Structure formats: structure tokens, C-alpha cells
Amino acid sequence: MLEGRKRQIKDLALKLGADDVGFAAVADYDSPLTPDLHSIFPGVKSLIVMVFREASHCESDNMRIAMGGRLAIMEFMKACDYKLTHFLECDCQARAMSTPMSYPLNISPEGKFGLIGDISHRHAAIAAGLGSWGRNNLVIHPQFGARVLFSTILTDLELPPDPPVTEVACNDCNICVDQCPADALEEKGKTAQMKCLAHSQPYGIGGTIGFWTRFIDSSVEEQKKLLRSPEFRRLNHATSFTLQYYCFKCYASCPSGRLARGRRGDGEPQFESEK
Ligand code: B12
Ligand code: SF4
Ligand code: SF4
């Protein structure tokens, strides 16, 4: 009965367009820095994690192309989240909650000003048997590699969990570390978040605070110039369209999954060297 439900949910997620889906019991979600899931959803029993592969726009040096593609996948992921929660509530008589794939974030001090999500999709993906940690601190899917995004749905349905991935997909080639323009991956197992942030989101909150601080300290003539500067235009653009990433290097340069085609189970080799 429970296996049948799980099969139905999995089929729907794949039919909607997810590249893979995994299931975890709430007890297996082990993310020390993020809130207890019961504080979000009392009675939560299972996590359903969907995987979405990102296409090659993330390799482009043109950040409007890279970010435009990211915005498209994010929109699509949100629609899949909506449809799956709707199915769980209407067809399975369960309670279900979708969770933000990245934003909104808790921007108060206890959320480290937006550096800690209300749920960690990487830890959810690990619990749901969808990958292993890479040197880039991203979760690498056994078939599709690091270039995947995750979304997580919480439900009070008890669903049989998937076994964890035991093989490590990262081959320690160090490409991600060498490619990081901010030297944010020097320490194994820890991203230097502020270094990454300054580089990957120069027109985020840090850039905005920096701009307005300089603005306040400037003369009226300098202020007029600042308001016409490319910097202000970029800040305004970023605010209008949501946060913009200016770096995808550790994600796009990772060779894992580069050759994978199709959906899970097709058995494609993971690394170029395995071909
Ligand atoms: C805040 C945030 C950021 C912050 C902070 C990142 C961070 N290191 O935590 C900044 C802005 C720096 C950032 C950058 C990026 N992000 Co981001 N980010 C998030 C967000 C919203 C919350 C993450 C969070 O809560 N972190 C705090 C806690 C959970 O992390 P932690 O417990 O300290 O665990 C860290 C380490 O301890 C380590 N770790 C934990 N256990 C273990 C065990 C082993 C063996 C190892 C090696 C490491 C390890 O992993 C974590 C990484 O630092 C998530 C979405 C979400 N809600 O999950 C996306 C998310 C993590 N980001 C993502 C991506 C893709 C990126 C970027 C590539 C940017 C881009 N252009 O897309 C970079 C990659 C940076 C990097 N290499 O670490 C994806 C990752 C997908 C994947 N395949 O893993 C996510 C999951 C979004 C999504 N919905 O898919 N991000
Ligand atoms: S997103 Fe860019 S700056 Fe941040 S860790 Fe990855 S390569 Fe470094
Ligand atoms: S680029 Fe190499 S070292 Fe970095 S995560 Fe990918 S396989 Fe591992």
C-alpha cells in the first residue's frame, strides 16, 4: 500500500519533468544548522526530494544567459512543487508543504542574514539517497553530477525511504577549487560563504549596503553621478528580477555527470575517463 503510494508519487514527479526523485524519513534528515523540521510542520513524517538538471547556460561567461536559464529552471521547479503538493493533498488525503528552493530566506541574525535556509536541500537530498558530497560542497547525483538543483516537499504521509548513496561520485580532481575565482573552497568541507557571496552575488544585499553607504557619504554632485552609474543600474536590475548570480564555476566546471543523458537508470558513465 505504502510502496504503491510511493510509486504513484514518483511517477508523477518524473512525469512532471523532474529528472529524479528520492524519499527520506524525517529522522534521517541530519542538518545541524537548519531548524528542526517539526518547527515548520508539526507531524511531518517524510521528505520528497526532486532533482532537476541544469542545461549548459550555466557554462556561459555571459551572466545574463546563465542567470536567465537559472530563473527558468527555478520557475519550473516551483510549478512542479505546486503540482506535487496539490496531488498529495487532493488525491492522497495527506498534508503537504513545499519549501523555497532558495528564496525567501531568513535574513535575521539567527538565519545568519540569509546564509542558512529554513531547510537544507543538500542534506535532504543526501537523506533521500540522491547523491554524495563533492569537494565543491555540492551534492553530486550519481548519474547527473553536481549540475543539479533540488526541491523538497514535506508531508505527513509515511513513505518508505530510499537507501543512501554509498559510492562517492567526486573524483578529487580539484577543478572546482582551482576554478573558484574567490578562493572560497580552499578548506575541505567548508565554503567560505562571505568570499563566495561577494563574488557570486555582487549586486545582492552586501553590494546594496555598500552602495548606499557610499551614497550617504557623497556630495550632491557625486550622488547624482552614482545614481547614473552602471553599478546602480545593475543593483536596480538585480532588485527588479530577483537576486542574480554572477558565478557558477564550481557547479558548471565539475566533470561529474557531464556525459549523462536521459533519466535515472540509463546507466551512462559518470566521468569522461570511464567512457
Ligand atoms: C544560502 C545558500 C548559499 C550561500 C551559502 C552556501 C553554503 N555553503 O551554505 C551562498 C550564497 C554562498 C551560496 C552559493 C552557492 N549556491 Co547556494 N544555497 C543556499 C541555500 C539557500 C541555503 C544553504 C544553507 O542553508 N546552508 C547552511 C547549512 C545547511 O550548510 P552547512 O550545514 O554548513 O553545510 C555545509 C558544510 O558543512 C558542507 N557539509 C555538510 N556536511 C558535509 C559532509 C561532507 C562529507 C562534506 C564534504 C561537506 C559537508 O556542506 C555545506 C556547504 O558549505 C540553498 C538552498 C537550500 N535551502 O538548501 C542553496 C543551494 C545550496 N545552493 C546551490 C547552488 C547551486 C549554489 C552555487 C553554485 C551558486 C549558483 N550560481 O547557483 C554556489 C555554490 C557555493 C558552494 N560551492 O558551496 C544549490 C546546490 C545544489 C547542489 N547540487 O548541491 C542549493 C541546494 C539550491 C537548490 N535548491 O538546489 N548558496
Ligand atoms: S559560486 Fe563561484 S565564488 Fe562561489 S564557491 Fe562556487 S566558484 Fe567560488
Ligand atoms: S570538480 Fe572534481 S573535485 Fe570538484 S566536486 Fe567535481 S569531481 Fe570533485
Cα 70–chain centre separation: 10
- Residue 151 forms beta bridges with which residues? 50
50 alpha carbon to ligand 2 midpoint, in Å?
23
Number of the ligand closest to the Cα of 182: 2
Percent of all residues in the chain with a pLDDT value above 90, rounded to a whole number: 83
Which amino acid, residue 28? D
**Distance between Cα 213 and ligand 3 center (Å):** 38
Which residue lies with its CA nearest to atom 47 of ligand 1?
189
Query: Which residues are near ligand 3 (CB < 6 Å)?
Result: 134-136, 146, 170-176, 254-256
Ligand nearest to the CA of 34: 1
Does residue 250 have its Cβ closer than 6 Å to ligand 2? yes
Flag whether pLDDT at 272 surpasses 60: no
Q: Which whole number is the average pLDDT over 69-73?
A: 95
What's the CA gap between 76 and 66, in Å, rounded? 16
- Per-residue pLDDT, averaged over 136-150, amounts to 97
- What is the chain's mean pLDDT, rounded? 92
What stretch of H or E contains 50?
A: strand 46-53
The SS3 assignment for 223 reads helix
Structure confidence by residue, pLDDT tens digits, 188-203: 999 999 999 999 999 9
The bound ligand whose nearest atom lies closest to the alpha carbon of 256 is 3
**Could you tell me if 246 and 63 are in contact, meaning their C-beta atoms sit under 8 angstroms apart?**
yes
Q: Which three cell numbers stand for residue 58?
A: 550555466
Q: What's the pLDDT score for residue 184?
A: 98
